[in-house]
Structure 1
Amino acid sequence: MRITGFRTLTTVHDWGRPIGDVNGAVGSGKTSVPVVVLETDTGLEGIGLGSHAGVESLFGALDGQDPRSVVALYDRMLAWVFKSGHGGAVFGTIGALDLALWDLKAKAAGEPLWRTLGARDHVVPAYASGLDGPLPDEELVALHKRFADRGLRAVKLKGGLDVGTDLRRLDLVSDLYRDATGQVPALMLDANESWSRKEAVRHIGRIEERHDLAWIEEPVRRWDVDGLALVTRSVKAAVATGENLTGLEQFRPLVQANAVDVVQTGSVWGITHFLRVAALAHAFDLPVSPVAYSANPLGHAAASVPNHLSIELQDFGHPIGISADQVIADGHLVLGSAPGLGLTLDEAAIADLGDAADWGHQAGPHVRPDRAGRRLVGKPAFD
């Protein structure tokens, strides 16, 4: 089997609600989902989700290669861009192509990817997370009622701007999940790198007077090893971080400095990256937890590693033109038996899309606010 070509598509995930975090929101609730399809001389095709940036150049590392040599091809792609750099969106494209390669490898074996990766079970522990920063209380409760009805007993909220608001929202979801499941839920709060070190310690300390947080996510900047270590030592909650790190070398200083308690990876960075980060975390007796993305592609890899803690679930639907062989039930992501990632594309439906969507605009959650990390004494009246 040889790789002969590729094609790219872009579809839309309609969340049906505003989404965002402390950094901003997408009021339309519509976001772009890039898709990469790898073609082979056997007719099998591999599907990857993540990014298109630099795909024409990166494809040179794959052209004519046997897609079953996934790990070697992953390193070949990294080597292909080692002078120009593999970070950011280019790392996302490597991840998307890596997903497509693993999809092909499992399809060639005629089995689901979780089986190819050596997992014993296809039922993956999960937690609820709805990108719910902009939702008013009533809509927040309605969203998490749907998660609770699926048996989820752990929940992560977006927060970090105002302690009073965070406490009120944590109260609401804690009561909701307790009433729905009969158990006090595991609570997490995601600050999305919005605090300075002392802001983080003060904010979390206030919350911990009322709630027992399972973890606090990205309390300070992703690369701030000393700051993350300080927060870890100063609060009871575990510190979770890593979703925005692009390369194994960026995780090593964190784990060596005891600056992270729950190691995370971004789903858009691919399967091979996740497996390597999980192995590094396992060597330090740390759990690993992948953040969510459309169709939950890292669920297959999460099922196969011994230190997986819980996978993030953000929505019940999938992007237009993409279906996935999986369900959310009894507090778990349940993967099916379809070959590969279990993804099916309806390219006609994607071609018929009239609008594109994105969340990289000025008010969106991918644009860091001017006052992030500088709110220790509040926002100046003249700002």
Structure 2
Amino acid sequence: MKVTGYRSLTTEHDWGRSTGDANGVLPGPRTDVHVLILETDAGLEGVGLGAHGELERVFGAVEGQDPRGVTALYDRMLDRVFKTGHTGATFGAIGAIDMALWDLKAKAAGEPLWRTLGALDRFVPGYASGLDIALDDDALVRLYQQFADRGFTAGKLKGGRDLPHDLRRLQALRDVLGRNSSQPALMFDANECWNRTQAVRYVSALERVIDLTWVEEPVRRWDAAGLAAVRQGVRAAVATGENLTGLEQYRPLLDADAIDIVQVGNVWGITHFLRVATLAHSRDLPVSPVAYHGNPVAHAAAAVPNHLAFEVQALTSPIGLTVDQQYRDGGIVLGDEPGLGIRVDESLIRAARAADAPAAAAGPHVRPRRAGLRLVPDAAASS
């Protein structure tokens, strides 16, 4: 079996609500979802998810190769761009191809990927995460009630601009999840909007009222000294890593003893997650994947010994994607379909794209001009 080509599709996920973080809010309820389909001469096709705009930079490393040699092909892709670098969009393309290769490998074996990777249990513990900064208090409660109905006992809020607002919402989240646990786990995600002193002051103020399990990305992702300072200054664990693209970017954070929860983005692929999980395990640290549509890395999370909890952002799938998994008992229950269990209805995707305008490109991933420079955290502060 050899890789012969690919097809690239873009569908949409309808969140049914506004989504965003401290850096901004998307203008509408829909976001683009990028789908890569790898073709083979055996008729099997592999599915990978995530933006892959720089696919042509690395596709030559896998074209004509047996997709079952996934880890070797992953290194071939990294080698292909070692001079110009593999970060950013290139790492996203590598991740999408890597997912599709693992999907093919498990399909060739006739089993779900979690079995191919050696997991015994199909259940992946999770936590609810609504990308919820734009929601009013009533909408926030309604959203997390849906997660509570599925047994979730842990949840993560977005915030970092308005302390009284964030405290009120954290208390509401605690009340909603409290129906499943007397001590629900509450996490708080600032998305790199603070400097280290702001982070310690803000989290310390939250902790006078709320017992936080972790604070996520309190300062810039590469700031090892800053993350270590925050870790020393607050009770909550410090979590980061979703935007790191390569093992080498974790090294200074681990050497500085700067993080407690090692996070990995789903969009960077299966092999990257497995390698980061091993790196974290060598330091006796837990690993926690940051969600993406279809939760492809959940298969790998089921197979590593140090997985803590998997972020679940939505209980529905993007248009045209059917995913063989369920949400119950506070986590993800993986199915038995071979591979990642993701089926793609290309005709439905094309029809939906023809009927609707493409999702807006603007959104929360634009860093505000004054991020980390505000004297007073304030929801009305100019960005």
If the TM-score is normalised by the length of the shorter chain, which range does it land in? over 0.9
Corresponding position of 2:158: 158
Q: Does residue 1:242 correspond to 2:241, yes or no?
A: yes
Structure 1 segment 47-66 matched on structure 2, within 5 A: 47-66=47-66
In the alignment, the residues of structure 2 paired with residue 161 and residue 45 of structure 1 have an alpha-carbon distance, to the nearest angstrom, of: 45
Asked if the contact 2:126–2:310 (Cα under 8 Å) also holds between the matched residues in 1, the reply is: yes
Asked if the contact 2:12–2:319 (Cα under 8 Å) also holds between the matched residues in 1, the reply is: yes
Structure 1 segment 358-377 matched on structure 2, within 5 A: 358=359, 360-361=361-362, 364-377=363-376
Structure 1 segment 121-270 matched on structure 2, within 5 A: 121-178=121-178, 180-270=179-269
* 1:26, distance to aligned residue in structure 2 (A): 1.1
Q: Which consecutive residues of structure 1, in runs of 5 or more, have no partner in the other structure? A: none
Corresponding position of 1:29: 29
Mark the CA change 1:163 to 1:381 in structure 2 (over 3 Å): closer, same or farther.
closer
Structure 1 segment 69-148 matched on structure 2, within 5 A: 69-148=69-148
Give 2:64's aligned amino acid. G
In the alignment, the residues of structure 1 paired with residue 140 and residue 213 of structure 2 have an alpha-carbon distance, to the nearest angstrom, of: 20
Asked if the contact 2:213–2:237 (Cα under 8 Å) also holds between the matched residues in 1, the reply is: yes
Q: Deviations over 1:329-374 (max 9, x none)?
A: 011100000000000000000111233544641xx21000111101
Q: Which consecutive residues of structure 2, in runs of 5 or more, have no partner in the other structure? A: none
Asked if the contact 2:160–2:377 (Cα under 8 Å) also holds between the matched residues in 1, the reply is: no
In the alignment, the residues of structure 2 paired with residue 89 and residue 253 of structure 1 have an alpha-carbon distance, to the nearest angstrom, of: 22
Mark the CA change 1:378 to 1:128 in structure 2 (over 3 Å): closer, same or farther.
closer
SS of 2:101's equivalent?
Answer: helix
User: What TM-score, normalized by structure 2, do the two folds share?
Assistant: 0.97
In the alignment, the residues of structure 1 paired with residue 109 and residue 159 of structure 2 have an alpha-carbon distance, to the nearest angstrom, of: 44
Asked if the contact 2:153–2:181 (Cα under 8 Å) also holds between the matched residues in 1, the reply is: no
In the alignment, the residues of structure 2 paired with residue 381 and residue 198 of structure 1 have an alpha-carbon distance, to the nearest angstrom, of: 18
In the alignment, the residues of structure 2 paired with residue 371 and residue 301 of structure 1 have an alpha-carbon distance, to the nearest angstrom, of: 38
Asked if the contact 2:19–2:29 (Cα under 8 Å) also holds between the matched residues in 1, the reply is: yes
In the alignment, the residues of structure 2 paired with residue 357 and residue 58 of structure 1 have an alpha-carbon distance, to the nearest angstrom, of: 27
Aligned alpha-carbon RMSD (Å)? 1.4
In the alignment, the residues of structure 2 paired with residue 254 and residue 286 of structure 1 have an alpha-carbon distance, to the nearest angstrom, of: 12
* 1:80, distance to aligned residue in structure 2 (A): 1.0
Asked if the contact 1:359–1:365 (Cα under 8 Å) also holds between the matched residues in 2, the reply is: no
In the alignment, the residues of structure 1 paired with residue 248 and residue 283 of structure 2 have an alpha-carbon distance, to the nearest angstrom, of: 15
Mark the CA change 1:356 to 1:226 in structure 2 (over 3 Å): closer, same or farther.
farther
User: What TM-score, normalized by structure 1, do the two folds share?
Assistant: 0.97
Once the two structures are overlaid, the 10-residue window that deviates more, 181-190 or 305-314, is: 181-190
In the alignment, the residues of structure 2 paired with residue 8 and residue 138 of structure 1 have an alpha-carbon distance, to the nearest angstrom, of: 39
SS of 2:327's equivalent?
Answer: strand
Asked if the contact 1:125–1:332 (Cα under 8 Å) also holds between the matched residues in 2, the reply is: yes
SS of 1:131's equivalent?
Answer: coil
In the alignment, the residues of structure 2 paired with residue 287 and residue 196 of structure 1 have an alpha-carbon distance, to the nearest angstrom, of: 25
Mark the CA change 1:358 to 1:276 in structure 2 (over 3 Å): closer, same or farther.
farther
In the alignment, the residues of structure 2 paired with residue 343 and residue 371 of structure 1 have an alpha-carbon distance, to the nearest angstrom, of: 41
Give 2:201's aligned amino acid. R
* 1:256, distance to aligned residue in structure 2 (A): 1.3
Asked if the contact 2:28–2:360 (Cα under 8 Å) also holds between the matched residues in 1, the reply is: no
SS of 1:181's equivalent?
Answer: coil
Q: Where in structure 1 do 4 or more consecutive aligned residues deviate above 6 Å?
A: 379-383
